[in-house]
Structure 1
Amino acid sequence: MSTVTTIRTRLGPKPGFRPVTPERRRRRRVQLAWALLVMNVLTFFPDSVQLIPLPGMVGKLIAQGSLPLAALVALSVNRPARVRPSVFIFLSSLLVTEAAIASLRSEFLFSALYRSTRLFLFVAVLWLLTPWWTRKDLLLVRTHLIVLWFIVGSVVLGFLIAPGMAMPEGRLVGTIWPIPPTQAAHYAAVAAGLTGVLWMAGLLKRWVALTSVAAAIPVLLLTHTRTALVALLAGFLIAGLSLFTARSRARRSFAIAIGVFSVGALTAGSLVTTWLARGQDEDQVAALTGRRFVWDAILAQPRTVWETLLGFGLSNKSFNGLPIDSNWLGTYYDVGLLGVAICVAMVLFVFVGAWFTPQGPRRALALFLVAYCVVASFTESGLSEASPYLLELTLAASLVYSRPPQEGAE
């Protein structure tokens, strides 16, 4: 045995063997911390259909427990704790402070303070991950995309195992982990958009891009979620235009898209109209599936000066038992006009940063993410709480960071 070991030592490692270096270990822990953040915002819905029934307490414990675990992993890789100065994360911290102050006067004090604490810890982990914002290999973007592939893959797998269970009321849902159709559409749309932008920028192989899009787009269409589809198209258009003069792939993609759109408009116009209507009449579509009634009620609610400026404290984004389904009205209800102003500043900061970022993949990816979040924010909520939208807007902010890209954390 000693002779064999000696011979192997002299010959060196086996072909294809990659030693686990300290840098690889750090990178894996950063990826694990980001994946745990995604797990934390992957809300568990105990009343949804499930192939493997989990008790509600267990599912919530998995989702909520991933946040403190992400904090521990981030602290283990960032020792001693060092952060990069960031206007975006500073604004997020202001939002945390404002939410905590507003929650002190909330009618539901315990739940509001719990949500404020969760948002504080969420933003703290984002602070700890700032040293990895400037990597040339786009570590956080690739990690986010890999996690999205797993989520979309679980939705597809659930559909293949039990198609009837996965399509209640004619809309695709996640059944392995309970994911409502709107969230499944969100994950599929962002996965498809990031994949398309990376491919146009020459950073992703064709077969990987085709496989990802071939899985994500059907999921998006089967969820019958209009917001995610419109946000995807808007974000991809803006990102593609930013690469139009620099990448031939972007120009070819636009030519193909125009051809497909023209043929589709002529041959499948009625089918598209039926899909968009989703079985609703004109009054339901005009009322945005009942959202306008909730929005009008929020705006008509009597408020004191304090409640107008600071809101009623963080809630579950519902009003009188009905979902608010609007980031801006949900933010206004929870943290008032001051919270809305902070959210607007966060979005504008990323847009302005992207404007001054040199043309290339980082700028295109940031534009896709921020455009998607802005379009979706009108009928989805999340920028003022720990959510996929805040996580993806942070990802966009990391791409427009002004410091020169570095290979790893300093």
Structure 2
Amino acid sequence: MTAIATIGARLAGDHGGRRVVTPQRRRRRRVQAAWGLLVVNVLTFFPGAPHILPIPGVVGKLVTQASLGGALLLALSANRPARIRPSVFVFLLVLLAAESLLASIGAEFLFGALFRAARLLLFATVLWLLTPWWTRRDLLLLRTHLMFLWVILGSVLLGLLAAPGVALTDSRLGGALWPIPPTQVGHYAAVVTGLTTVLWLSGLLRRELALISVLLAVPVLLLTHTRTALIAVLAGVLIAGLSLFTTRSRVRKSFAIGAAFFTLGALTLGSVVTTWLARGQDTEEVAALTGRRAVWESIVAAPRSTFETVFGLGLSNKSFNGLPIDSNWLGTYYDIGLAGVAIVVAMVLFVLTAAWFQPDGPRRALALFLVAYCVVASFTESGLSDASPYLLELTLAASLVYSGSTFREGVR
């Protein structure tokens, strides 16, 4: 009887009262660590932004840039021997990286452009090495992404508690411990809110946990005064919810309650919402999209050769004459030309098409939320043509609708 109990304990993962760390568990931990380092790699470090920790700019940039190398090593150690899934999306991503290398050869700032292009290629390589974990039923990559986003938001909340005056510079919430701009904080809060909501609507998350998550993330989003993130998360949740509308009674009830609250809020809090959206700007500033239109018009009017029109000027820091471009499509056109824009469009359309042919369910809804969020945000935010949180989340969407054959982890 003792022998049988011992065998049963070992099969259950209990070895003498201790939890046995199996090779599969160690591999999953390395995969999670690799994905976390990718999140760190795209975490913007602004040394000029107000923050309370004395982090030198060189150290901050070294942490973010070196994390990509660490992610590559962890991905290689987890995916051994190296096996990758065939994926049209990742092929397009590698093609985008190759096109950016071609465009960067003749760039004015050659070293910076080549460095960004090489980083994008390495970023795509790590994502390709993680494709064996795309079809896991426990949504390992998505849950890992959520976990690390909460770590970031947790640091923002700690900074708000420790130094509210620093965190709320110019009345917009940013990172006080790690200098994160309000727009990026708003992006993370919006993605956490949307993913948590869709997971709950799909029945994959307990109501108590979802409620706590939303009640913490939504105030962070509102305190950042990031209009793009708010509109994008509302659009993404709406589209994801509609994909579950006919199969989930929870979605239908939530939409009915949401419509009632929206109507009541529009009637009673219209002036408050208008003030929040205006963000202290007058009508002219809002119509000019906070100066974005002037930058966009200058990019379109700038003279270019045929080669530069097709292939671009090389990857930049997404600025034009010292001003941020703040548009994925014009930023892509400026950096890697019409060819780059076509590749990014193909990537987005591929994910949308793949989601369209997926059966109704959580994976489809989550993918639709992510791609809808990225598309809406792309009009006033840049990132789909470079290593960024948006590209990471678009890859997550592609993984959720992947329809290739599955194979067992550890055997592959």
- Normalised by the shorter chain, which TM-score bucket? over 0.9
Question: Aligned partners of 1:404, 1:375: CA distance in 2, in Å?
Answer: 32
Question: Aligned partners of 2:231, 2:395: CA distance in 1, in Å?
Answer: 21
Other-structure match for 1:328 = 329
Letter in 1 for 2:349: L
Verify the 8 A CA contact 1:149 1:212 in the aligned structure 2. no
Letter in 2 for 1:241: L
Question: Aligned partners of 1:249, 1:68: CA distance in 2, in Å?
Answer: 43
Letter in 1 for 2:208: W
Verify the 8 A CA contact 1:294 1:324 in the aligned structure 2. yes
Question: Aligned partners of 1:44, 1:323: CA distance in 2, in Å?
Answer: 16
Question: Aligned partners of 2:78, 2:8: CA distance in 1, in Å?
Answer: 33
With over 3 angstroms needed to count, the CA separation of the structure-2 counterparts of 1:216 and 1:87, relative to structure 1, is same
Letter in 2 for 1:24: R
Judge which range, 252-261 or 23-32, deviates more.
Answer: 252-261
Question: Aligned partners of 1:274, 1:160: CA distance in 2, in Å?
Answer: 25
Letter in 2 for 1:321: G
The offset of 1:350, in angstroms, is 0.3
Question: Aligned partners of 1:295, 1:17: CA distance in 2, in Å?
Answer: 60
Query: What aligned pairs does 1:209-220 form with structure 2 within 5 A after superposition?
Result: 209-220=210-221
Other-structure match for 2:379 = 378
Question: Aligned partners of 1:69, 1:223: CA distance in 2, in Å?
Answer: 31
Counterpart secondary structure, 2:247: coil
Other-structure match for 1:237 = 238
With over 3 angstroms needed to count, the CA separation of the structure-2 counterparts of 1:300 and 1:258, relative to structure 1, is same
Verify the 8 A CA contact 1:353 1:401 in the aligned structure 2. yes
The offset of 1:19, in angstroms, is 1.8
Question: Aligned partners of 1:404, 1:190: CA distance in 2, in Å?
Answer: 29
Other-structure match for 1:48 = 49
Other-structure match for 2:369 = 368
The offset of 1:354, in angstroms, is 0.3
The offset of 1:383, in angstroms, is 0.4
The offset of 1:64, in angstroms, is 0.5
Matched, 1:126 2:124: no
The offset of 1:177, in angstroms, is 1.1
Verify the 8 A CA contact 1:152 1:215 in the aligned structure 2. no
With over 3 angstroms needed to count, the CA separation of the structure-2 counterparts of 1:22 and 1:343, relative to structure 1, is same
Query: What aligned pairs does 1:338-377 form with structure 2 within 5 A after superposition?
Result: 338-377=339-378
The offset of 1:403, in angstroms, is 2.0
Letter in 2 for 1:199: W
The offset of 1:405, in angstroms, is 5.2
Letter in 1 for 2:88: V
Question: Aligned partners of 2:144, 2:253: CA distance in 1, in Å?
Answer: 27
Other-structure match for 1:205 = 206
Listed one character per residue, the Cα deviations across residues 210-254 of structure 1 (whole Å, up to 9, x for unaligned) are 111111100100000100000000000000011111112211211
Where structure 2 has 5 or more consecutive residues not aligned to the other structure, the ranges are: none
Question: Aligned partners of 2:18, 2:368: CA distance in 1, in Å?
Answer: 38
Verify the 8 A CA contact 1:103 1:116 in the aligned structure 2. yes
Query: What aligned pairs does 1:13-162 form with structure 2 within 5 A after superposition?
Result: 13=14, 17-162=18-163
Other-structure match for 1:261 = 262
Q: Please give the root-mean-square deviation of Cα atoms over the aligned residues, in Å.
A: 1.7
Letter in 2 for 1:34: W
Question: Aligned partners of 2:78, 2:53: CA distance in 1, in Å?
Answer: 34
Letter in 2 for 1:306: F
Question: Aligned partners of 1:135, 1:150: CA distance in 2, in Å?
Answer: 23
With over 3 angstroms needed to count, the CA separation of the structure-2 counterparts of 1:15 and 1:155, relative to structure 1, is farther
Question: Aligned partners of 2:409, 2:238: CA distance in 1, in Å?
Answer: 31
The offset of 1:50, in angstroms, is 1.4
Question: Equivalent pairs: percent with the same residue?
Answer: 69
The offset of 1:9, in angstroms, is 7.5
The offset of 1:404, in angstroms, is 4.8
Question: Aligned partners of 1:62, 1:104: CA distance in 2, in Å?
Answer: 27
Judge which range, 201-210 or 111-120, deviates more.
Answer: 201-210
Listed one character per residue, the Cα deviations across residues 176-218 of structure 1 (whole Å, up to 9, x for unaligned) are 1111010000000000000000111111111211111111100
With over 3 angstroms needed to count, the CA separation of the structure-2 counterparts of 1:142 and 1:81, relative to structure 1, is same
Letter in 1 for 2:120: L
With over 3 angstroms needed to count, the CA separation of the structure-2 counterparts of 1:223 and 1:302, relative to structure 1, is same
Listed one character per residue, the Cα deviations across residues 93-116 of structure 1 (whole Å, up to 9, x for unaligned) are 110111000000000000000001
Other-structure match for 2:292 = 291
The list of structure 1 runs, each at least 4 consecutive aligned residues, that deviate by more than 6 angstroms after superposition, is: 8-11
Q: When the two structures are superposed, what TM-score results if normalisation uses the length of structure 2?
A: 0.95
The offset of 1:260, in angstroms, is 1.1
Verify the 8 A CA contact 1:173 1:223 in the aligned structure 2. yes
Other-structure match for 1:390 = 391
The offset of 1:21, in angstroms, is 0.9
Letter in 2 for 1:245: T
Question: Aligned partners of 2:7, 2:392: CA distance in 1, in Å?
Answer: 48
Question: Aligned partners of 2:221, 2:280: CA distance in 1, in Å?
Answer: 17
With over 3 angstroms needed to count, the CA separation of the structure-2 counterparts of 1:17 and 1:211, relative to structure 1, is farther
The offset of 1:65, in angstroms, is 0.5
With over 3 angstroms needed to count, the CA separation of the structure-2 counterparts of 1:281 and 1:247, relative to structure 1, is same
Question: Aligned partners of 2:406, 2:293: CA distance in 1, in Å?
Answer: 45
Question: Aligned partners of 1:117, 1:21: CA distance in 2, in Å?
Answer: 35
The offset of 1:17, in angstroms, is 4.8
Other-structure match for 1:178 = 179
Counterpart secondary structure, 1:67: helix
Question: Aligned partners of 1:290, 1:203: CA distance in 2, in Å?
Answer: 42
Verify the 8 A CA contact 1:136 1:405 in the aligned structure 2. no
The offset of 1:408, in angstroms, is 3.2
Letter in 1 for 2:379: F
Judge which range, 145-154 or 265-274, deviates more.
Answer: 145-154
The offset of 1:319, in angstroms, is 0.1
Question: Aligned partners of 1:132, 1:39: CA distance in 2, in Å?
Answer: 20
Question: Aligned partners of 2:336, 2:360: CA distance in 1, in Å?
Answer: 36
Question: Aligned partners of 1:373, 1:51: CA distance in 2, in Å?
Answer: 31
Question: Aligned partners of 1:201, 1:16: CA distance in 2, in Å?
Answer: 36
Question: Aligned partners of 1:90, 1:334: CA distance in 2, in Å?
Answer: 20
Verify the 8 A CA contact 1:137 1:407 in the aligned structure 2. no
Counterpart secondary structure, 2:19: coil
